[in-house]
Every structure is written in structure tokens, then in C-alpha cells.
Amino acid sequence: MIHSLSGGVIADDGIYTFVKVDAEGTPRWYLAPVFRPKAGDRVRVPLGGGECVATVLRVESCSRQTAPVPLNRAQSILEIFPAENV
């Protein structure tokens, strides 16, 4: 963590795993805080007021500044179904 001269925090040095999925025909980004899926895996994700099973399109490691969606709005994947088990 880097601090400014006035005492505030400038940057968070954490790295977060983001997963781009195809959820009911729409690409969406989710956090993967525990799971480490790969492209082709199926995951269960929150969608609207419910949940759906989606296909992983891409996995990226991002900082808070390079995240595809704001961290305070990002939802997390709930479960992973590896491609070899589908």
C-alpha cells in the first residue's frame, strides 16, 4: 500500500482474479477469490435475483486500478465445474 504525503492511501497493491463468463448469452465479469477456473470451465454465478451456470471465457489477474469492474460492485463466482468433469 502506498500513502500520499497528506496521509491518504494512493493505491492498493492487491491482485485480484477476475473471470469473464458467458452468462445466458451476455459477457459478464466476476471475482474468483477462492476458485481458480480456466477458460472452458463452467461456473455457477449470481445473476439478477437468482443464479445461473455460465461458461468461462477468460481469466485475468488485475489490480484494483485495472479491474474490469469496480471491486465494490463485483460479484463472486459461487462454484466451479471443471471442464474435464462436464
pLDDT along the chain (86 residues), means of 10: 54 86 96 91 95 96 93 94 68
The DSSP code sequence of 7-63 is S-EEE----EEEEEEEETTEEEEEE-SS----TT-EEEEEETTEEEEEEEEEEEEE-
- Quote the cell numbers at residue 24: 445466458
pLDDT of residue 86: 47
pLDDT of residue 45: 97
pLDDT of residue 37: 93
